[in-house]
Chain A
Amino acid sequence: MTLLEHAQVSLEAVVANKLRSTLTTLGVTIGSTAIILLISISIGASHEVTKLVEGLGSNLFMVAPGRGKGGPLTASPSLLRLSHAERIQKETSFHVVVSPVLNNLAAVRYGREAKAGVIVSGALPNFPEARSWRPTQGTFLKKSDLELARRVAALGRTVETALFPSGDSLGKDVVVAGEKFRVIGVMESKGQLFDIDMDNQIFIPLTTAQRIFGTSALSFIFVAVPKPDDIPAAMAEAKRIVGQTILPEQFSVKSQGETLETVQSISLIFTAMLGSVAGVSLLVGGIGIMNIMIVSVTERTREIGLRKALGAREPDILIQFLSEAVLLSFMGGCFGVTLAYIGSVVVSKASPTFALSISTFAVGLALIFSIAVGTFFGVYPAYRAARMDPIEALRHD
């Protein structure tokens, strides 16, 4: 008996019980949908994470006020001062770029256009180097801008687009906190970092920022080291240096790597959840297929007896029922692919920032899994069918 003949016999049996076959495949359908989404999401997430690492610079760490969580707009009063940044720069054994910033939220206005909730970031001229974030037009802040506490600004892309739809911002004066700032540059786009639009930001001299916000505190001290491998040692040094003047709970030192680890562990939890859904539904689906195959074998006992009387050998019967189980399971896999595809389209429509693309690898894996499940759970019923005694099978009623 050829493979094609086996396939034909199995297909006929599956088609003969359309509703039952479809219901039987449900478990495997859900399982393979979960597998596909799971892998596609984690591939997507790891792309996202890689993008973040590249965007932030993998050789960067930062000193933040408070303990651990201090986001860019931390509420707790910061005890970080310029002196800390200077001492890190002086005292570490690495060739570091230390770039402190003072961030605050403010509205930025140009003529009748205004943008509220913009991150106004007081920075040093070395900021582009430390963060690998450079102007695409004009220049960044210069040393003299700092020394003279000039009112000049480099705009983030979002701010520029909002205030200058035609893109001619250089040399214009924008208003921040009631004061006019001359636009000297436009920064390259950095996109979203988690849920914060990094481009909704403007950079002004740190000295100017301290004056208009009336504080000498710092929001962050960014430290770039020559090689990513230097980060742990440099972090330890920075911790020691800052710790000489303020208490350990009043600041924290964290690397982007740690932030990314948090993201990755969240995506790992998600992966594990979907993974167990996939595993459980494949298991349930497999048991469902086994169950329906046992029913099918029992229902068709006389058919099995007849086939044997007509010359079917044990392997013929085994393959017939095994391929029926695999066919059912594979159908479930194909339904799963369809469902996952529909799901990805729906998700992408609903939230354009979270573009979920189905990976070919995931589809392949889900189909292989579905075939494996069918084979594994189909063997026992098929074996039972193959081993039936032809006479007893023919007499069965």
Chain B
Amino acid sequence: MVRITDLVKTYQLEGIEVRALRGLSLTVDPGAFIAVMGPSGCGKSTLLNLLGCLDRPTSGTLEIGGVDVSSMSPTDLAILRSQKIGFVFQTFHLLARASAFANVMLPFVYSGYPSERRKPRALELLQYVGLQDRVRHRPNQLSGGQQQRVAIARALANDPGILLADEPTGNLDSKSGLEIMALIERLNREGKTIIMVTHSRELAEHAERIVHLLDGVMIRDEVVAERRVAEVRPDAEPA
């Protein structure tokens, strides 16, 4: 479970205070699928970075799995990130010189994953995202959708409970975007907690709940009445 209470994040920008989050409270149950929407600059990424323990709140508390992380040491936060949280970014952030396989292997060194199980695990994950034939390809030899699949496989490496996705389909065409949505839905069905930022109302409707932000506060917490499902035939070959 993720619970935030009165979360405030203020940036100092050349002496001017930028209030990115102004007292946000939110509870996300385990296994939930939440979409975060709002205009550009309303604090969506700030929220996700705080949830991912990449940044510290100015005030307020953040609990992950019942533990208050706002007072944890940088080392403990790093361990938490490596074990409980998976990140998916809009721009993929793959290592350009490394193969799909090597990119998926990357998180293992920081979590101390048993070395003899790394290779099979990475191959299994690449198979899971449908890239078993692209194991040795480098990012520039892959399409955008395929690159994001590699990034998702990497996010899953240490089997985290929470997946944070900041506009995961923002750089993709609508077909690849839907395929990524299908993958995220499937992960959610298999028990992962998903928190996804998106600009698209349609994509947000794949989630069970949409949190609307404006200027650092929540203006609406909407339960999706009719959830969309990304229709992908189970036997279809992913592009």
Q: Could you tell me which A residues sit within 8 Å of B by CB distance?
A: 1, 5, 9, 12, 16, 302-303, 305-314, 316, 390-391, 394
Whether, in the assembled complex, B176 has its beta carbon less than 8 Å from a beta carbon of chain A, the answer is no
Distance in angstroms between the alpha carbons of A314 and B82 in the assembled complex: 13
Chain B: which residue is nearest A4 at the CB level? Answer: B115
Q: Which of A5, A9, A303, A311 contacts B82 (CB 8 A)?
A: A311
Distance in angstroms between the alpha carbons of A9 and B106 in the assembled complex: 10
Q: Are A310 and B110 CB-contacts (below 8 A) given A303-B95, A390-B54, A394-B89?
A: yes
Whether, in the assembled complex, B93 has its beta carbon less than 8 Å from a beta carbon of chain A, the answer is yes
B136 shortest CB reach to chain A, Å: 15
Distance in angstroms between the alpha carbons of A5 and B81 in the assembled complex: 20
Q: Which of A12, A310, A314, A316 contacts B81 (CB 8 A)?
A: A310
Interface contact B97-A306, CB-CB below 8 Å: no
Do most interface residues of chain B lie in helix, strand or loop, or is the interface mixed?
A: helix
Central interface residue in A312, A313, A391, by most chain B CB within 10 Å: A313
Residues of B contacting A314 with CB < 8 Å?
74-75, 78
Q: Are A311 and B81 CB-contacts (below 8 A) given A5-B109, A391-B54, A391-B55?
A: yes
Q: Which of B78, B87, B93, B154 contacts A312 (CB 8 A)?
A: B78
Chain B: which residue is nearest A305 at the CB level? Answer: B93
Chain B: which residue is nearest A16 at the CB level? Answer: B97
Distance in angstroms between the alpha carbons of A216 and B74 in the assembled complex: 94
Interface contact A313-B74, CB-CB below 8 Å: yes
Distance in angstroms between the alpha carbons of A303 and B106 in the assembled complex: 11
Residues of A contacting B111 with CB < 8 Å?
311
Residues of A contacting B169 with CB < 8 Å?
none
Whether, in the assembled complex, B83 has its beta carbon less than 8 Å from a beta carbon of chain A, the answer is yes
B150 shortest CB reach to chain A, Å: 13
A159 shortest CB reach to chain B, Å: 71
Could you list 9 A-B pairs, sorted by A, with CB under 8 Å? Answer: A308-B81, A310-B81, A310-B106, A311-B83, A311-B110, A312-B82, A313-B74, A314-B74, A390-B54
Known A12-B98, A316-B109; 18 more pairs at CB < 8 Å: A1-B110, A302-B93, A306-B93, A306-B95, A308-B54, A309-B52, A310-B107, A310-B110, A311-B81, A311-B82, A311-B107, A313-B78, A313-B79, A313-B110, A314-B74, A314-B75, A391-B54, A391-B55
Task: Fill in one digit per residue for B95-129: 1 if any A CB lies within 8 Å of its CB, else 0.
Answer: 10110000000110111100000000000000000
Distance in angstroms between the alpha carbons of A312 and B82 in the assembled complex: 8
B108 shortest CB reach to chain A, Å: 9
Interface contact A391-B81, CB-CB below 8 Å: no
B79 shortest CB reach to chain A, Å: 7
Whether, in the assembled complex, B188 has its beta carbon less than 8 Å from a beta carbon of chain A, the answer is no
Q: Which of B52-110 contact A (CB under 8 A)?
A: 52, 54-55, 74-75, 78-79, 81-83, 87, 89, 93, 95, 97-98, 106-107, 109-110
Chain A: which residue is nearest B96 at the CB level? Answer: A303
Do most interface residues of chain A lie in helix, strand or loop, or is the interface mixed?
A: helix
B232 shortest CB reach to chain A, Å: 28
Distance in angstroms between the alpha carbons of A1 and B115 in the assembled complex: 11
Distance in angstroms between the alpha carbons of A306 and B98 in the assembled complex: 14
Distance in angstroms between the alpha carbons of A305 and B87 in the assembled complex: 12
Chain A: which residue is nearest B92 at the CB level? Answer: A306
Whether, in the assembled complex, B10 has its beta carbon less than 8 Å from a beta carbon of chain A, the answer is no
Distance in angstroms between the alpha carbons of A42 and B226 in the assembled complex: 87
Q: Which of B78, B83, B154 contacts A308 (CB 8 A)?
A: B78
Whether, in the assembled complex, B49 has its beta carbon less than 8 Å from a beta carbon of chain A, the answer is yes
Residues of B contacting A16 with CB < 8 Å?
97
B181 shortest CB reach to chain A, Å: 22
Interface contact A312-B54, CB-CB below 8 Å: no
Chain B: which residue is nearest A397 at the CB level? Answer: B91
Distance in angstroms between the alpha carbons of A394 and B79 in the assembled complex: 19
A1 shortest CB reach to chain B, Å: 5
A393 shortest CB reach to chain B, Å: 10
Q: Are A316 and B54 CB-contacts (below 8 A) given A309-B81, A311-B79, A394-B93?
A: no
B197 shortest CB reach to chain A, Å: 14
Residues of A contacting B54 with CB < 8 Å?
308-309, 390-391, 394
A342 shortest CB reach to chain B, Å: 33
Central interface residue in A9, A12, A391, by most chain B CB within 10 Å: A391
Residues of B contacting A313 with CB < 8 Å?
74-75, 78-79, 110
Distance in angstroms between the alpha carbons of A16 and B138 in the assembled complex: 14
A327 shortest CB reach to chain B, Å: 17
A130 shortest CB reach to chain B, Å: 75
Distance in angstroms between the alpha carbons of A312 and B81 in the assembled complex: 9
Q: Are A391 and B106 CB-contacts (below 8 A) given A302-B93, A309-B54?
A: no
B153 shortest CB reach to chain A, Å: 13
Distance in angstroms between the alpha carbons of A301 and B83 in the assembled complex: 23
Central interface residue in B49, B79, B95, B98, by most chain A CB within 10 Å: B95
Residues of B contacting A311 with CB < 8 Å?
78-79, 81-83, 107, 110-111, 158
A323 shortest CB reach to chain B, Å: 13
Residues of A contacting B55 with CB < 8 Å?
390-391
Distance in angstroms between the alpha carbons of A69 and B145 in the assembled complex: 87
Residues of B contacting A12 with CB < 8 Å?
97-98
Chain A: which residue is nearest B45 at the CB level? Answer: A391
B147 shortest CB reach to chain A, Å: 13
Chain B: which residue is nearest A315 at the CB level? Answer: B75
Residues of A contacting B93 with CB < 8 Å?
302, 305-306, 309, 394
Chain A: which residue is nearest B89 at the CB level? Answer: A394
The 7 tightest CB contacts between A and B, nearest first, are A311-B82, A311-B110, A313-B78, A310-B107, A311-B81, A306-B93, A390-B54
A263 shortest CB reach to chain B, Å: 56
Chain A: which residue is nearest B97 at the CB level? Answer: A16
Distance in angstroms between the alpha carbons of A306 and B89 in the assembled complex: 10
